[in-house]
Amino acid sequence: MFKIGATTLPLAGWVVNPRKPDEGRAQRLAAVRLLVEGYGLHAVELSLDLGAAYPQVFDNGFYRSVADLQQEFGFVCTVHLPFLWVDLSSLNELIRQASVDCLRRCVELVQPVDVDTYVVHLWGFTTTQISAQLQNPAQRRAILAGLVRQGGRSLGALLEALDPADVCVENLEDSVFEFAWPLVEEMGTSICLDVGHLAWQDGDPLGFLVKHGERVREVHLHDAVRAAAGRQAGARDHLALGQGHVDYHAVLSKLEEIGYDGAVILELNTREALEESLEQVRPFL
């Protein structure tokens, strides 16, 4: 049976005061405790952008404290590797290398924790913007081919430190996952299925599970509103379950049917959205 969990972000936010590191650490640890003890969840996802942005707060000692909580409560821990301000597929080699170094440092930082899976974004925001702007199909394919080569180099460097099966390449809001798929196959990595991102594209999560289910080792679940045909402006995701177009009951039932036993992480931004979503998935807890 899969394990439903969440990130600490709806409870503790994205920012801390670096001048008060003890306060920031205590707030985040309290959020972990509330997720597992208060809400009865069985998985917690750590957002390592926090470790990258605030290394003086989320240091090795903080992750040792997370490991102590994991030992106490027995929850599954997943990690979302940094994706803000980094780009593993950048054609600017200095940026690509710095991005790899950032991720590898964060992997070392979280060593005290028993990590089940590591989620990675192969594309950064710049790649998404370039992909959206290129209307000429030949130019778009050529640029994306270069980005895939760079992303493959970065992924290969990351796999020097991690078991490929534990690394989950996530499908993003853009529509270039098909370019990442050959890397997933070649390097033996897993997939993080983000249901909301797929809905953003008017994609079919059940069809995705039929096609790639054996590779899926983590699921991100949030609701989304699809864009109007041919437009992206109206699309929204990371909504509370029940506020968009995602048939989350069908997704969870399909996961049960195929015997998926990994983490299903609710990716939401507010406590209210988290609690609304927990009511929707309560039968699966």
Instruction: Evaluate if residue 98 carries a pLDDT over 70.
Output: yes
Residue ranges covered by each domain of the chain: 1-74
Q: Are the CB atoms for 34 and 75 separated by under 8 Å?
A: no
Q: What is the mean pLDDT of residues 260-276?
A: 97
pLDDT at position 233: 52
Confidence tier at 138 by pLDDT (50, 70, 90): confident
Indicate the pTM of the whole model: 0.94
Taking 3-state DSSP, the helix, strand and coil percentages for the chain, each rounded to the nearest 5, stand at 50, 15, 35
pLDDT digits (tens, 9 = 90+) for 167-190: 999 998 776 688 889 999 999 999
* DSSP line for 179-239: HHHHHHHHHT-EEEEEHHHHHHTT--HHHHHHHHGGGEEEEEE-EEEPPPTT--TT-EEEE
